[in-house]
């Protein structure tokens, strides 16, 4: 099964660095680094607005827990927003590609 992980980063360089580390460690097959976005959020009771870079990581279900854990270790935020989930469907070619990842 396919799994996805969503995570925002403070800048493109940090997003790229973490994505390359996860690729080197065979925890993901792909990272889609998206353009700047505005994040509105509450932190410690105060409202904030910051520009962040969103990343969608593609992996397989058996690597999801390990990948989320490693992403948390690599991320520079003290409390990064990391959300992972298992996908219900994927194209057979996508499944073949993800299954080439070493578990």
pLDDT at 65: 98
Q: Could you identify the residue written with the tokens 């969608």? A: 56
pLDDT at 100: 83
Class of domain 2-99 (CATH, top level): alpha beta
pLDDT at 103: 56
Residue 100 contacts by C-beta under 8 Å, 6 or more apart in sequence? Answer: 29
**HEC states along 28-43?**
CCEEEEEEEEEEEEEE
* Domain extents in the chain: 2-99
This prediction has a pTM of: 0.93
Residue 88 contacts by C-beta under 8 Å, 6 or more apart in sequence? Answer: none
pLDDT digit string (tens) for the chain, length 103 residues: 899 999 999 999 999 999 999 999 999 999 999 999 999 999 999 999 999 999 999 999 999 999 999 999 999 999 999 999 999 999 999 988 988 887 5
Q: What are the tokens at 58?
A: 């593609």
């Amino acid at each position: 099964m396919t799994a996805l992980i969503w995570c925002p980063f403070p800048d493109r360089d940090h997003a790229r660095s973490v994505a390359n580390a996860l690729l080197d460690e065979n925890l993901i097959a792909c990272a889609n680094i998206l353009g700047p976005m505005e994040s509105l959020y509450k932190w410690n009771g105060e409202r904030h607005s910051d520009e962040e870079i969103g990343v969608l990581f593609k992996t397989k279900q058996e690597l999801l827990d390990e990948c989320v854990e490693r992403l948390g270790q690599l991320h520079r935020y003290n409390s990064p927003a990391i959300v992972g989930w298992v996908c219900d469907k994927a194209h057979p070619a996508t499944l073949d590609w993800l299954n080439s990842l070493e578990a």
